[in-house]
Structure formats: structure tokens, C-alpha cells
Amino acid sequence: MADLLSALNPMQQRAVLHGDGPLLILAGAGSGKTRTLTHRVAQLIGTRAVPPWRILAVTFTNKAAAEMRERLERLLGADALPWVSTFHAACVRILRREIEALGFTSNFVIYDDRDSERLLKECLDVLRIPEHTLTPRLAATLIDGAKNKGLTPQAYARGDEQHESMSLVYARYQEQLRRANALDFGDLLLATVRVFDEHPQVLERYRERFLHVLVDEYQDTNAVQYRLTNLLASRHRNLCVVGDDDQSIYRWRGAEIGNILDFERDYPDAAVIRLEQNYRSTGTILAAAGAVVARNARRTGKTLWTENGPGEKVAIAALPDDLEEARFVARQIEQLLAGPWARRDIAVFYRTNAQSRSLEEALVRHRIPYVMVGGVKFFSRAEVKDVLAYLRVVVNPADSLSAKRVINVPPRGIGAATVERIGTLEDEAGGFVAACRLALARELLKPMQAERLAAFLALLDNVRARLDHVGYPQLTARLIEESGYGPMLRQDGSGEARDRLQNLDELLKGMEEHAGAERTLQEFLEQVALVTDLDAYDGTVDRVTLMTLHAAKGLEFPIAFITGMEEGLFPHARTADSDIEEERRLCYVGMTRAMKRLYLTHALQRRVYGDFQFNPRSRFIDEIPTALIEAAAAPPRPAAAPHFASRRPAFMSRTAEPNGGERIEVASGDDGEHVRVVYDEDGLRIGSRVRHGTFGVGTIKRLEGNGEQQKVTVLFRSVGAKKLLLKFAGLEPA
């Protein structure tokens, strides 16, 4: 342990050696908080002989939890690891043992955002609420917000008509989840708190068990996580929280900055330790970022310092418009790549996803490979979700949503009318699969429909019967064939079908790796469900990284660009008046991602929905002391780079990547390198694959208009081209 302490600075050592009682570690950006947290756990186990199973350490992303486990394994060995997981994974682990107290069974499934929206669409249809009044996505957002605050459907109805109406949707949604033996992300936390509240003997077991509770990124906790943390730590009061109020940027996800600001009110005897030595950035970058966030009134106050040199001044660039801004960034990156920097060293940040388009085009034109974080996740692709839906029904026959997804996938002649007829029996039968069996028993279907439905049920029963005798990767491979899914794609023979088959191969490879660790199918489905957009970044890929400022938290890059630094965009018009302090914290987070060089760019005019906006530069630039900034020298414009205003340069051709993402090929590339583009999950682009509830899968061929009147022309495999009003189309990425 002496050797371990020697690698820490004095304040980190104080945090590691703290004895019993509450501890607040205020860890500034780049101050080594993960090292401090893991060394504290190692000290508790290695020196104080606390049994590993009596320690719970929770964080917010799977990536952060995996990193903490790896560090602890190096310090302690694989046999001395405590509970280290995300909040959601910890709750799943508890609920697998305790959820029967709430009327669920332990084989419950977890619905992701897309599943929730599909279920809410059904709820809105039943309640006869039109989508122009309330969309499934908005309903999902409102319900998630209510759950983050710990509100039940009854508590959500505040007396006004809008909330009462929404509470009916919320109540219907919760009932359908219960019937499907399913939980969504918010339920994982709420159900755990509910078990503890309604069954004190269960809470007593867990708070007696956990002698020490440690929470990373405490500034990101919402009301339910705050309650859960304090319930578990209430017996022994050995609660250690690590966080930085200056990096609290997830209010829109329910995060409560007051949880960390008021920690000393909750625990008056808490020890408070500030980690202010920064190991990441230059002195100039730290001073500039610190000057911005110091304007906030509601903060604990920290002054970061570093032994790194002052480094270069922060470069400020004012460009005529957003296209020139993007070209400036691309040319600057070209210049950096001609020096000692690699592509993976460079990140470009923006406030909103809509800003990425001009940046993508500029990088493609300059043949700079990049990856966009926040793209369509592998497990969100249609073919992967289809196979996972089959497996979820096998594991949990009550999962009606998954059953409806695959009852006619691949097409087996069970149409929408038949599904609707079966659906009328759901309430009586207690679920869709049970309704299918009831429809057959009562001979309610035509002979051909009954035969097809019986074959579908027999397929599910056959797979379920083999689950305990055949490894689930092998069983899934057989399911892909026996269901007709694999044969359908091979018979199609198109490039798109080959890509989808490769995605299924990747799914099977992932299953084999998971099964090699002696884990079950249920655990695999659980792991897949807990993957979030915050786990998307892969630092080993040698590509320039494009991402939103929110996605950048927790990462670091030698060189960072923050684009679009204009009033109305950053700070964003929606939040500038209501919570300018959170926008300022977001700026601080973006600036402190940079290790060596930081560029801040803004445009004098910007295209927004076909119109020009003229916004002054961001106040955040003006809050940086002038001694720390300099005007960026524009790199020379290549003679062969003509001005272009089209949204699709003529030299780009499109094909599909094996993983289903879209790729843009630069035909004239000197080295033949392909530039891969991954679009954001909600982005609609010409060439994107989408799924329609009635027409199936198709490809976007044309987009017309904007806003409420935007129309989309989609070429469907089943019915040909259809022109749809986008807001009513209900399209999903496929």
C-alpha cells in the first residue's frame, strides 16, 4: 500500500486514507479521480481488510465501470473484487433476486428507448390520443422525466388537464410493462427503491451488507439515485461520493446539481477534500476554462492548477458562415496531421447534432477519415433487434412487444389484421403469446392463418425446449436459420442483405465471447439492454472524432475544436435564459477536454432550416481573459478546393458498411482510403434505411420542405415509392 500511495499527490492520499464516515471528494477536471477512487477501494480491502463483497462502487457508464474493475484487478487480483457497476446494473442485480415482491418474475426483460416508444404508440392508439397531440417520443420523454423525479402515474397528475391526460398514458404504459414482465431504464431504479420502501426487511439486508458505498460522478445523480444511495448508506454512513459540480451538465436527464452542493447539509460531519491538481491540460487552457466557469454563482469553488507548462494560447476563429467554419476546421486539421499529431488525437465538438452536417462534408472533401460518436448503435439495427426479440420471447413469454415484432418477421403470412384480431384477446389471456394460443384453441382464425400461427408458436416452443441443453450462441444460429431469417437474407442477395447477414455474424461472435465467460442468455440480453450512447467512444480507432459536447464528458484529446460558439447556439437559445449556468458548465467541460491545443470557432451567419441567422459570438468567448487568447491564423486554402454550397459534393458515392452504417467513398483519394460516416440515430438522410409500421423497410430517396410540412419519399421493398408527411410517418432507423 505504501507503493500505491507514492503514486498519489497529497490530497489524493488524504482521500484514500480517510477512515470511516461520509466523505465528499470534489475532483476537478483531469485531477485523477478514477485513480483516487480505485486506490481508496484497494486500501479498504488490502489494508483495512474490508471484505470485497461488503463494498459497493457505482458509476454512470459501462465503460467507466469496466475501467474501474480493470484497475482494481491489477491492484488486488481477480478474486478480491467488490461490486463495481453502473447504477442500473446494480439495480438489475438486486431486482433479479427481489423483484417477485413486486409481482414480477426474475426473468423480466429490459426495454430500451425504441421498445418504450413502440409500446407507447400502442398505448396512445388504445387511448385514442392522436400523434399530432402527443407523439410516442414526447410521451417517453415526459415519463422518463417523471421517473427520474420518482413520480408515479398518480403523483404525476397534478390537477391540470394536461398532466391528468398524460398520467393516463403513463398508467397504461406501466400496466403494459407489468403485463409483459418488463422494465424500462427508469423502472430499474424506481422498482429497486420501491422494493426497499415496501419491504423494509429487504432494505435491511442490503444496507447491513454494504459497509462502504462509493459513488462516482455524484453531480450527475437524479432524485431516485440520490435516494437509493442514501438508503443503502444509512446504516453504516460510510458514503464516499466523488464529483465536480462544475461538470454537472445533465439536468435535462434529471440530474440534480443540489445533490453534490448540499452533501454537507445532508452529512454535517462529512470530510471534504478538493482535488485541484490537473494532470491533463496546459496552464493556459485551465486558466481560460476556469475564468468561464467562475462566472457561475452556484458552485463550491475550486482553482485548478497544473505542473504542465502554459502551452499555446486558446485560438479564436471568426468565419463568414458555417460552411467556411467547417472548411477552416478541416484545413486546420490537415495542417495538424502534417505535423506530429494523429487523427485520433483530434476531436471536434458541437452543441447540437444538426451542426455536424457541414463538418462532415468538409472532412470528406479534404479526405479526412472520421467517426461520429452517437451514431446508430449496433444493437439498435433492425436485424439485430429482430433476433434479440425472438430470444426475449423465448426467455420471457410474457414479452408481448417482442412477440408482435417478430410474429411476421420474416414474412410468414400473418398480417396486421390477424395480429389485431389476436390482440383483442390480450386482456383476457394475459399477454400476446397467450392470446395466440387462445385464438387457436377457440378456432377464431382461418385455417391457413391458424396453421401459420401454430408454426410460429412451435418455433418458439422448440427453441425454449433446447435452451437448457444447447449453448445459446449455437441455439441463436439455429434460430436464425429455422425462423427463415437467414434464408430470407441470402435469397435477397443484395448488398444490403449481405451487410445484415454480417451484422448477425457479429452478434453471434459477441454471444460466443459472452458465453465463454460462463454467462447465461438472460445475462447477455441484460448486458445488451444496458448499453447506452455514453459507451460508444472507441479511442483505439485512428479517426478524427466528431461528437456533441454532452457526449465528450469523461474523455480527453490532445487537440479539441469547439464550433458554433454563438449566442443562440452556444449558449443555446432554449436554455440561455432558464439555466445559463448549466450552459457555462457545458462550455467548461468542452474546454477541459483539450490537453495541448484548444480552438474556439464561430460563424457570422449560419444556415438554419434554409434561412440565415446572424448571431453575435458567444459570451463565453468574451469571458476568457484576452491575455489567454489569440486570433487563429487561417490555413491556406487549397487552389483546387472550389466553393461548394450543395449539401452533397459531386465526388461522393455511397455504399453500405458491413456493420450497417453508411460509408462515403472518396473516388479520387490518393491512398484509396474510405471515409466512414456514421449518422446520428435520429438523422434522416437520403440513402438512410428506415422502417415503417405498415410498409416495412425502405430507403429514403427524397426530402422536401422543412419543419411541420417536411415530406419524405421512401422506396419500400413491399409497395414501391411512397411520399409521406414526416411528422405522421412514424419512421424508425432500420
Cell of 381: 439495427
CB count in 10 Å sphere of residue 698: 25
Looking at the fold, whether 85 and 228 belong to one and the same domain comes out as yes
Consecutive H or E run containing 370:
strand 370-372
**pLDDT at residue 552 in the model:** 92
Measured CA to CA, the distance from residue 335 to residue 621 in angstroms comes to 24
Contact criterion met (CB below 8 Å) for 479 and 410:
no
* Ramachandran assignment for 586, one of left (phi > 0), alpha (psi -120 to 50 degrees), beta (any other): alpha
Q: What pLDDT band is residue 364 in, cutting at 50, 70 and 90?
A: confident
Looking at the fold, whether 92 and 213 belong to one and the same domain comes out as yes
Residue at 304 is within a domain: no
**pLDDT at residue 706 in the model:** 59
Which residues, 6+ apart, have CB-to-CB distance to 428 below 8 Å? 435, 438
Looking at the fold, whether 205 and 320 belong to one and the same domain comes out as no
Measured CA to CA, the distance from residue 213 to residue 232 in angstroms comes to 7
Looking at the fold, whether 70 and 216 belong to one and the same domain comes out as yes
Rounded mean pLDDT, 591-598: 97
Tell me if residue 225 is catalytic.
no
Measured CA to CA, the distance from residue 178 to residue 187 in angstroms comes to 11
Which range among 3-17, 552-566, 623-637, 696-710 has the greatest average pLDDT?
Answer: 552-566
Looking at the fold, whether 20 and 54 belong to one and the same domain comes out as yes
Q: Domain boundary residue among 157, 180, 203?
A: 180
Which residues, 6+ apart, have CB-to-CB distance to 232 below 8 Å? 56, 206, 207, 210, 213
**pLDDT at residue 668 in the model:** 30
Q: What pLDDT band is residue 734 in, cutting at 50, 70 and 90?
A: low
Cell of 155: 403523483
Residue at 392 is within a domain: yes
Which residues, 6+ apart, have CB-to-CB distance to 40 below 8 Å? 15, 16, 18, 214, 240
Distance of CA 508 to the CA centre of its chain: 23
Looking at the fold, whether 217 and 87 belong to one and the same domain comes out as yes
Q: Is the pLDDT of residue 634 over 80?
A: no
Looking at the fold, whether 431 and 368 belong to one and the same domain comes out as no
Residues 33-67 have pLDDT tens digits of 999 999 999 999 989 999 999 999 999 888 889 89
Q: Annotated catalytic residue: which of 36, 59, 135, 247?
A: 247
Measured CA to CA, the distance from residue 25 to residue 243 in angstroms comes to 7
Share above pLDDT 70 across residues of the chain, in percent, rounded to a whole number: 88
Amino acid residing at 611: D
- CATH number for the domain including 398? 1.10.486.10
Tell me if residue 216 is catalytic.
yes
Q: Is the pLDDT of residue 642 over 50?
A: no
**H-state helical runs in 338-431:** 356-365, 382-395, 400-406, 416-423, 426-429
Looking at the fold, whether 450 and 506 belong to one and the same domain comes out as yes
Measured CA to CA, the distance from residue 96 to residue 114 in angstroms comes to 23
**pLDDT at residue 96 in the model:** 94
Distance of CA 392 to the CA centre of its chain: 21
Contact criterion met (CB below 8 Å) for 707 and 725:
no
Q: Annotated catalytic residue: which of 14, 34, 141, 727?
A: 34
**pLDDT at residue 528 in the model:** 83
Which residues, 6+ apart, have CB-to-CB distance to 430 below 8 Å? 179, 398
**pLDDT at residue 511 in the model:** 87
Measured CA to CA, the distance from residue 431 to residue 214 in angstroms comes to 41
Measured CA to CA, the distance from residue 166 to residue 170 in angstroms comes to 6
Number of alpha helices (DSSP H) and beta strands (DSSP E) in the chain: 31, 24
Contact criterion met (CB below 8 Å) for 494 and 699:
no
DSSP state of 566: B
Q: Domain boundary residue among 514, 529, 544?
A: 529
**H-state helical runs in 234-342:** 258-261, 263-266, 283-293, 322-337
Residues 659-687 have pLDDT tens digits of 333 333 333 333 333 333 333 334 456 66
**pLDDT at residue 676 in the model:** 36
Measured CA to CA, the distance from residue 650 to residue 661 in angstroms comes to 21
Rounded mean pLDDT, 407-431: 90
Tell me if residue 217 is catalytic.
yes
- Pairwise pLDDT comparison (514 vs 370), residue with the higher score: 370
Q: Annotated catalytic residue: which of 184, 187, 216, 680?
A: 216
Q: Is the pLDDT of residue 188 over 90?
A: yes
Residue at 636 is within a domain: no
- Pairwise pLDDT comparison (399 vs 3), residue with the higher score: 399
Looking at the fold, whether 165 and 64 belong to one and the same domain comes out as no
- CATH number for the domain including 711? 2.40.10.170
Measured CA to CA, the distance from residue 695 to residue 700 in angstroms comes to 13
Q: Domain boundary residue among 180, 210, 243?
A: 180
Measured CA to CA, the distance from residue 156 to residue 44 in angstroms comes to 42
Q: What are the phi and psi torsion angles at 278 (to 5°)?
A: -95, 135
Distances (CA, A) of 239 to 56, 58, 189, 607: 10, 12, 19, 50
Residue whose C-alpha is closest to residue 90's, from 234, 200, 229:
229
Q: Annotated catalytic residue: which of 12, 33, 299, 392?
A: 33
Residues 499-556 have pLDDT tens digits of 888 889 888 888 887 887 667 888 888 888 887 666 667 777 889 999 999 989 989 9
Looking at the fold, whether 524 and 420 belong to one and the same domain comes out as yes
Peptide bond into 410 cis (omega under 30): yes
- CATH number for the domain including 125? 1.10.10.160
**pLDDT at residue 662 in the model:** 38
Q: Is the pLDDT of residue 375 over 90?
A: no
Q: Is the pLDDT of residue 655 over 50?
A: no
The CA-based diameter of the chain, rounded to the nearest angstrom, is: 83
DSSP secondary structure string, 630-688? EEPPPPPPPTT-----SSS-TTEEEEE-TTS-EEEEETT-TT-PPEE---BTT---TT-
Q: Annotated catalytic residue: which of 98, 112, 117, 217?
A: 217
Q: What's the predicted TM-score (pTM) here?
A: 0.79
Residue at 588 is within a domain: yes
Residue at 140 is within a domain: yes
Residues 93-115 have pLDDT tens digits of 999 999 999 999 999 999 988 89
Q: Annotated catalytic residue: which of 63, 280, 543, 593?
A: 593
Residue whose C-alpha is closest to residue 12's, from 36, 31, 29:
36
Amino acid residing at 514: H
Peptide bond into 571 cis (omega under 30): yes
Residue at 405 is within a domain: yes
Q: Is the pLDDT of residue 159 over 80?
A: no
Residue at 641 is within a domain: no
**pLDDT at residue 650 in the model:** 30
Looking at the fold, whether 525 and 414 belong to one and the same domain comes out as yes
Count of structural domains within the chain: 5
Cell of 734: 432500420
**pLDDT at residue 579 in the model:** 85
Residue at 550 is within a domain: yes
Tell me if residue 509 is catalytic.
no
Share above pLDDT 90 across residues of the chain, in percent, rounded to a whole number: 59
Which residues, 6+ apart, have CB-to-CB distance to 204 below 8 Å? none
Consecutive H or E run containing 372:
strand 370-372
**pLDDT at residue 677 in the model:** 37
**pLDDT at residue 526 in the model:** 87
**pLDDT at residue 651 in the model:** 31
DSSP secondary structure string, 498-555? HHHHHHHHHHHHHHHHHHHTT--HHHHHHHHHT--GGG---TTS-SEEEEEHHHHTT-
**pLDDT at residue 438 in the model:** 94
Q: Which residues pair with 346 in a beta bridge?
A: 559
**pLDDT at residue 536 in the model:** 63
Measured CA to CA, the distance from residue 110 to residue 116 in angstroms comes to 10
Rounded mean pLDDT, 243-249: 94
- Look over the chain and give the mean of its residue pLDDT values, rounded to a whole number: 86
Residues 437-473 have pLDDT tens digits of 999 999 999 999 999 999 999 999 999 999 888 899 9
- CATH number for the domain including 335? 3.40.50.300
Distances (CA, A) of 308 to 277, 463, 594: 10, 60, 13
Query: SS3 for 691?
Result: strand
CB-side exposure of 326: number of CA atoms within 13 Å? 25
Measured CA to CA, the distance from residue 9 to residue 551 in angstroms comes to 29
Look at strands 544-548 and 370-372 and give their pairing: parallel
**pLDDT at residue 165 in the model:** 79
Contact criterion met (CB below 8 Å) for 679 and 672:
no
Amino acid residing at 540: T
Looking at the fold, whether 127 and 240 belong to one and the same domain comes out as no
Which residues, 6+ apart, have CB-to-CB distance to 22 below 8 Å? 233, 237, 238, 239, 240, 263, 267, 269, 270, 271
Full residue range of the structural domain in which residue 721 is found:
684-734
Expressed in angstroms, the distance from the first to the final Cα of the chain is 52
